[in-house]
Structure 1
Amino acid sequence: MSMDLHDAVTVVTGGGSGIGRASAHAFARRGARVVVTDLEAERAHTVAGELGGRGVAARCDVTDLDDLRAVRDLVLDRFGRVDVVMNNVGILAVGPVEDIPLDAWQRVIDVNLLSVVRSNLVFLPLLLGQGSGHVVNTASTAGLLPYGFDRLPYTATKHAVVGLSESLALYLRPRGIGVSCLCPAGVATNIVEQITFYGEPAAPQGPAFPVVDADSVGELVADGISEGRFLILTAPEAADELRELGADVDLYLSRLTKDAG
């Protein structure tokens, strides 16, 4: 389900840096108007300023339903509609699974997964009412493939975001609304700011994907919306891994275990 981003009204959470900032720029280059939201208001205003007249800034804590409602009201007051919602906020708890406490799990689930649920509650009624629009959920290749045991709360939530997005696509596409799931591999961003470490570092295990710059990811997201694509990968090699996993899960897990040994 393709969408022309020219004059589209887009909302980006976590838009003050990294993939969110790059996507905001990519949308604006295609003629969209972009509401840049971030927990850090200064970052949101900086990125909105970079977009010139096409950018609007708002502080938003995605764990607060009222903050998301305030963004919705701002967008409607300013533009009268919403066309694209990109749910892009994510944090990590890293370490051996036995060392990561319950409150860290709860925090990661609240930010990475329930933020998407809150966004759906706030914005989907608008998209459904107008019978058009597009939702982008940022997951990860760690949500497609079983390698992220060193960041298990993140991995679990990203698998959940992938599953949520797949089912959401089945529900929304017949109603005129597109859904994309962005699954980046290595991306050069400031994500380290959002990592909390526990215990001794665990050695990551799994395929080594190339690291790409955030700007190229933003272009992939904009192209994915324009072309109506569901799965957006930053590393095409991940598709080969996904096919191998689907062909024989036991064999795939055995190979990863053997490679680790």
Structure 2
Amino acid sequence: MSVQMRDAVAVVTGGGSGIGRATAHSLARRGARVVVTDCDGGRADAVAGELGERGIAAVCDVTRLEDLQSVRDLALERFGRVDIVMNNVGILAVGPVEDIPLDAWQRVIDVNLLGIVRSNLVFLPVLVEQGAGHVVNTASTAGLLPYGYEQMPYTATKHAVVGLSEALALYLRPRGIGVSCLCPGVVATNIVEQVTFYGETSPPRGPNSPVLDAGTVGELVADGIAEDRFLILTVPEVANELRERGADMDAYLSRLIADVM
């Protein structure tokens, strides 16, 4: 079921910077052709230019179904197929939960969760018809563990992305299509540009781990696709914490609550 990278066609949303850009480079180095999409056309063009003949660019706002349809049509027109779809766009609303307004919740859900829903509507029929391909959804360690109470809309949507990805794996893998869920820890990107702050904010919490560069994560994603792995972690220790959480959720939450009191 693993995708052969040589001459595969990949679509990467949020590909103009950070993890998306790094993954585009990793896939191109392995022989894939990449449609780099971003809501910032200049950034998409720059990354596609870095990839040379293996990259083309498109402006894409994942809250607009028609933008994703245009990207699909461009990929099919230029390359005749789509093999890999990486859904990699995310924004944050940060602050005490009682200070984050409803419209901020709606915006985060529209981008982080419904952006993937729209992508599924557009690209899954192509993958299912050809009976091959791979989908990568970028979630977060905040979608696995309950640290992110100061960024609750992000945490809620990333938990939803993990659950959506698990269900997609059950549906798509019998149809010859791989599914991976990327759950990165802290990565040096420009995601701060996508953060809106409300009320008095406190420093974000999470598992203690070093800050990774985006290039390392891009390689992990490409490896995960090649190996047809579902869960792609950048912090291996998270697996141990997941086991602790699964063994006794009450005890696990009690430990975390004691740490913040």
TM-score norm. by structure 1 comes to 0.99
Aligned residues, how many?
Answer: 261
Distance in 1 (CA, whole Å) between partners of 2:6 and 2:245 is 38
Superposed CA offset, 1:9-62 (max 9, x none): 000000000000000000000000000000000000000000010000000010
SS at 1:51 equivalent: helix
Distance in 2 (CA, whole Å) between partners of 1:260 and 1:31 is 47
TM-score norm. by structure 2 comes to 0.99
Alpha-carbon distance, 1:207 to partner: 2.3
Which residue does 1:212 correspond to in 2?
212
Whether 1:109 aligns to 2:109 is yes
Determine if contact 2:108/2:157 at 8 Å carries over to the other structure: yes
Moved more, 200-209 or 229-238: 200-209
Alpha-carbon distance, 1:202 to partner: 2.8
Match of 2:30, as an amino acid? Answer: R
Match of 1:46, as an amino acid? Answer: A
Distance in 1 (CA, whole Å) between partners of 2:206 and 2:30 is 36
Distance in 2 (CA, whole Å) between partners of 1:234 and 1:122 is 29
Distance in 2 (CA, whole Å) between partners of 1:28 and 1:204 is 34
| Runs of 4+ with >3 A deviation | 203-206
Alignment of 1:1-261 (within 5 A): 1-261=1-261
1:190/1:178 Cα in 2 relative to 1: closer, same or farther (>3 Å)? same
Q: Please list every run of 5 or more consecutive structure 2 residues that lacks an aligned counterpart in the other structure.
A: none
Superposed CA offset, 1:168-227 (max 9, x none): 000000000000000000000001000000000134344222210000000000000000
Alpha-carbon distance, 1:67 to partner: 0.4
Match of 1:160, as an amino acid? Answer: A
Match of 1:95, as an amino acid? Answer: G
Alpha-carbon distance, 1:167 to partner: 0.4
Distance in 2 (CA, whole Å) between partners of 1:184 and 1:141 is 6
Among the aligned pairs, what percent are the same residue?
A: 77
